[in-house]
Amino acid sequence: MPPRPIARTEKARAMLPADVRLTNAVAGGIVVLAALVLAAAALHGLARSPWFALRAIAIEGEVARSPEAALRAEVLPRLRGNFFAQDLQAARAAFESLPWVRRAVVRRVWPDRLSVRLEEHRPVALWQRDEENPLVVNDHGELFEANLGEIDDPSLPVFAGPPGAAPAMWALFRGVQPLLAAQGLPVARLELSGRGSWRVRTAAGQVVELGRGSEPELVARTAAFARTLPQLDARWGRPLVGADLRHAGGYAVRLQGVTTAADAPAPRAGM
């Protein structure tokens, strides 16, 4: 069997003088480097070529509070590069910097378009940073800044608590609001003190002290209180002024014209 050409070639290379082998290696490296430079130049030219300029941006998804014309006016001047050179992360950040945009997904569509799908913030509460400049809480428990005049619902509750507490406050609100609203006591304000104590203020001005505890404990406490409100109304026939649910075995209430009422039994958390 004749020797393989590859083996013969390798043997011939090994027999070359060292300086010749070095010269060949350098020449090969120069060829590779030149090819890389040419490729980089070609890519650079491709990125700047007007043949691949962006000609359209398709905006989809939620744009109720973000009119397409306003989006284009705000974002288009911030986009740089053609179809290939466009920085999609920078484009996404540009859209997400707008007040009502929570999330943007940007992708290229061959040959000359960008597709943008938007998700808007859905306001569920106001976050009281101060009396004049509140933030807004969305349905993910996240805070965002917005023009309050653009909020359709004037009856949004107010959350007041330490920084970073918005997710926990939104979670608790979803637990206690249906229970109290069913008894004619919709929550207008939810407060969390720096010591971890919770308080509810209703739309009619009643104050309900929930006290401390985990979300399930506070919801169970509120549910026990709400179940007995019809009994209190039947017995006393007077409007509720406030309630204190911080007692271990029950709660205390204040009724209009009545200083105190007998504690009603309340089950422990989890019962």
| CA neighbor of 159 nearest in space, from 175, 149, 173 | 173
Give the three-class secondary structure for 99: coil
pLDDT at position 271, please?
A: 33
| DSSP code at position 263 | P
Label residue 262 left, alpha or beta by phi (over 0 means left) and psi (-120 to 50 means alpha).
beta
Give the three-class secondary structure for 9: helix
pLDDT at position 268, please?
A: 39
Can you give the pLDDT of all 271 residues of the chain as single tens digits? 555 554 555 555 555 566 555 565 656 667 666 666 655 555 555 555 566 677 888 899 988 888 887 888 888 888 877 777 788 999 999 999 998 999 999 999 988 889 999 999 999 999 987 656 679 999 999 999 888 888 888 889 999 999 899 999 999 999 999 999 999 999 999 999 999 999 999 999 999 999 999 999 999 999 999 999 999 888 888 899 999 999 877 889 999 887 554 454 444 333 3
Domains within the chain, CATH numbers bracketed: 53-120 (3.10.20.310), 123-265 (3.40.50.11690)
Average pLDDT, the chain: 82
State the distance between the two ends of the chain, measured CA to CA, in whole angstroms: 89
CB 253 within 8 A of CB 211: no
| CA neighbor of 144 nearest in space, from 124, 117, 161, 162 | 124
**What does pTM read for this prediction?**
0.75
Long-range contacts of 257-261 (CB under 8 A, 24+ apart): 261/232, 261/236
> Per DSSP, which regions of the chain are E strands?
56-61, 101-109, 113-120, 123-127, 135-138, 143-144, 158-160, 187-192, 198-202, 207-211, 240-244, 250-255, 264-265
What CA dihedral angle connects 77, 82, 84 and 85, to 10 degrees? -60
Identify the sign of the CA torsion 129, 135, 141, 142: negative
Give dist(CA 210, CA 247) in Å, integer: 10
190-199 pLDDT per residue, tens: 999 999 999 9
